[in-house]
Amino acid sequence: MRPEFASPSSSSSSSADRRLNALVRHLATASMVSQTAVAFSPTSGFHGDSVFSHVVRAPEDPILGVTVAYNKDPSPVGAYRTEEGKPLVLNVVRKAEQMLLNDKSRVKEYLPIVGIAEFNKLSAKLIFGADSPAIRENRVTTVQYLSGTGSLRVGAEFLARHYHQKTIYIPQPTWGNHPKVFTLAGLSVKTYRYYDPTTRGMNFQGLLEDLGSAPSGSIVLLHACAHNPTGVDPTLQQWEQIRQLMRSKALLPFFDSAYQGFASGNLDEDAQSIRMFVADGGECFVAQSYAKNMGLYGECVGALSVVCRAADVASKVESQLKLVIRPMFSNPPIHGASIVVTILKDSNMFNEWTIELKAMADRIISMRKQLFDALRARGTPGDWSHIIKQIGMFTFTGLNSKQVEFMTREYHIYMTSDGRISMAGLSSKTVPHLADAIHDAVTRMS
């Protein structure tokens, strides 16, 4: 039954007619199989063609998609696991939450666009050091955002709008989500050499060459510590060389700090690279995340700091950051940031936190040692010392995608196809199994 349509000039028809027509169309649709009737346009929303029919299915996220494929055992996603293979909520976090719950004066009113003021102050102190001249001179603006990603995105959007150089150089390789964060923010992305697969260490010469040939003023993404995915960090001497080179070319540093305290076990040590840059009086961007070091992953807590040359510039920058945030999500979520404040401002809780943090870092370092020893014991061909030289949650094993596929098929070990494994997901019990798998993969597949 073909529907009778009211013509566009039917505005003179009664509302009853219009209602009837609408009803007729509705009934007609129900009995129609998607025909391209004259009256229906391809944009029709009826049970025929969807207006979204041209929307294709997006591929699964290469990192989070691995978790989707596998839901039992320790996840290869960068999330810490205990020796028993379980996620960990820090004791000090539970304590903080109890304190927050007991505080009857707490409300859930909208936070300011830039988040909790105390959180911002404490986060800046944590990363730059309490005695940082940049903080003393009010040259830092720190704003609360949605964990590391959110902070990177907002910083990048700001740069795309207000900075004269729209290119960011990212290390090769880098966290899988980095390129999209920057391109969608409006920056163009180039890479600089970073990892040397033959040594499974740094390609420092390549790094210096590539940064050296970058146009003056370009933005450079730096992993503050515990490089993701390789686990390969510059030495302090190398950091100093990088700093000098960058300052001589006026390259703008954008630090991604997702592992402060989690890499070495020491908060100050893991912030040294950043503090070195700030000490020379120059400007930089820093994205901080509390996902790993406080185990607050899903609470999405982070901060973006912009260190400026002058206090008035910092406050102008802050005002412009607010313009980026308001149409994105208005203001940040309160829960995770409140936990952070509770912990950072109380010296006892802060100490408790550093102890739990060190325990996590130490466990990962011990897993590295165990895996290295296990491979040596099996006589697995190759030099595996990079496993103990690399730092942080991840190890770039050096395994190729065929070997990775093999390990998944034969040993049910899930890891990203670039050969990255999450050390945080290992335990003494599972190390032998992994060592067997690596050994098998290396000897049987090349």
Partner 1 sequence: MASSVFSLASATPSASLSSHDIEKGKLNLRNTSLCFKKEKNNPFMKTKSFGRISMVVASNVSRFEGITMAPPDPILGVSEAFKADNHELKLNLGVGAYRTEELQPYVLDVVKKADKLLLEKGENREYLPIEGLAAFNKVTADLLFGADNPVIKQQRVATVQGLSGTGSLRLAAALIERYFPRGEVLISSPTWGNHKNIFNDAKVPWSEYRYYDPKTVGLDFEGMIADIKAAPEGSFILLHGCAHNPTGIDPTPEQWEIIADVIQEKNHIPFFDIAYQGFASGSLDADAASVRMFVARGMEVIAAQSYSKNLGLYAERIGAINVVCSSPDAAARVKSQLKRIARPMYSNPPVHGARIVANIVGDAALFKEWNAEMEMMAGRIKNVRHKLFDSLSSKDKSGKDWSFVLKQIGMFSFTGLNKAQCDNMTNKWHVYMTKDGRISLAGLSLAKCEYLAGAIIDSYHNVS
The set of catalytic residues is: 175, 256, 292
* Euclidean distance between CA atoms 255 and 151, whole angstroms: 11
Of 80-88, 264-272, 409-417, 427-435, which segment contacts partner 1 by CB under 8 A? 80-88
The residues facing 307 across adjacent strands are 140, 284
Q: How far is the CB of 348 from partner 1 (least distance, A)?
A: 20
Q: How far is the CB of 216 from partner 1 (least distance, A)?
A: 6
Task: Indicate whether 206 belongs to the interface with partner 1 (CB under 8 A).
Answer: no
Task: Indicate whether 29 belongs to the interface with partner 1 (CB under 8 A).
Answer: yes
Q: How far is the CB of 331 from partner 1 (least distance, A)?
A: 7
Question: Residue for token digits 């050994």?
Answer: 439
Task: Indicate whether 2 belongs to the interface with partner 1 (CB under 8 A).
Answer: no
Region at 116 (left for phi over 0; alpha for psi -120 to 50; beta for the rest):
beta
DSSP 8-state secondary structure symbol assigned to residue 2: P
Q: How far is the CB of 440 from partner 1 (least distance, A)?
A: 30
- Written as six digits, the tokens of 43 are 């944009």
Task: Indicate whether 244 belongs to the interface with partner 1 (CB under 8 A).
Answer: yes
DSSP 8-state secondary structure symbol assigned to residue 133: H
Q: Are 134 and 276 within 8 A, CB to CB? A: no
Exactly one of 31, 109, 347, 446 binds partner 1 (CB under 8 A); which one? 109
Task: Indicate whether 69 belongs to the interface with partner 1 (CB under 8 A).
Answer: no
Task: Indicate whether 61 belongs to the interface with partner 1 (CB under 8 A).
Answer: yes
Q: How far is the CB of 376 from partner 1 (least distance, A)?
A: 33
| Residue 85 CB-density burial (10 A; 0-12 exposed, 13-18 middle, 19+ buried) | middle
Task: Indicate whether 87 belongs to the interface with partner 1 (CB under 8 A).
Answer: yes
Question: Residue 9, SS3?
Answer: coil
Instruction: State which residue, 51 or 130, has the beta carbon closest to partner 1.
Output: 51
Task: Indicate whether 1 belongs to the interface with partner 1 (CB under 8 A).
Answer: no
Instruction: State which residue, 136 or 345, has the beta carbon closest to partner 1.
Output: 136
Exactly one of 2, 35, 36, 47 binds partner 1 (CB under 8 A); which one? 47
Task: Indicate whether 205 belongs to the interface with partner 1 (CB under 8 A).
Answer: no
Rounded to 5, what percent of the chain is helix, strand, coil?
45, 10, 40
Binding positions for partner 1, 320-359, rule CB under 8 A: 320, 322-324, 326-336
Task: Indicate whether 45 belongs to the interface with partner 1 (CB under 8 A).
Answer: yes
Exactly one of 177, 354, 366, 417 binds partner 1 (CB under 8 A); which one? 177
* All residues at 6 or more sequence positions from 9 whose CB lies less than 8 Å from its CB, including other chains: none
Phi, psi of 56 (to 5 degrees): -90, 160
Instruction: State which residue, 319 or 443, has the beta carbon closest to partner 1.
Output: 319
Q: How far is the CB of 385 from partner 1 (least distance, A)?
A: 32
Q: How far is the CB of 35 from partner 1 (least distance, A)?
A: 14
Q: Are 245 and 343 within 8 A, CB to CB? A: no
Binding positions for partner 1, 280-319, rule CB under 8 A: 280-283, 291, 295-300, 306, 308-310, 313, 315-317, 319
* Euclidean distance between CA atoms 292 and 392, whole angstroms: 11
Exactly one of 3, 24, 37, 44 binds partner 1 (CB under 8 A); which one? 44
Q: At 299, which amino acid appears?
A: E
Q: How many residues lie near partner 1 (CB under 8 A)?
A: 112
Q: Are 137 and 280 within 8 A, CB to CB? A: no
Task: Indicate whether 106 belongs to the interface with partner 1 (CB under 8 A).
Answer: yes
What is the DSSP secondary-structure string of 14-76? Answer: -HHHHHHHHHHHHHHHHH--S---TT--TT--SSSS-TTTTPPPPPPPTTHHHHHT--SS--S
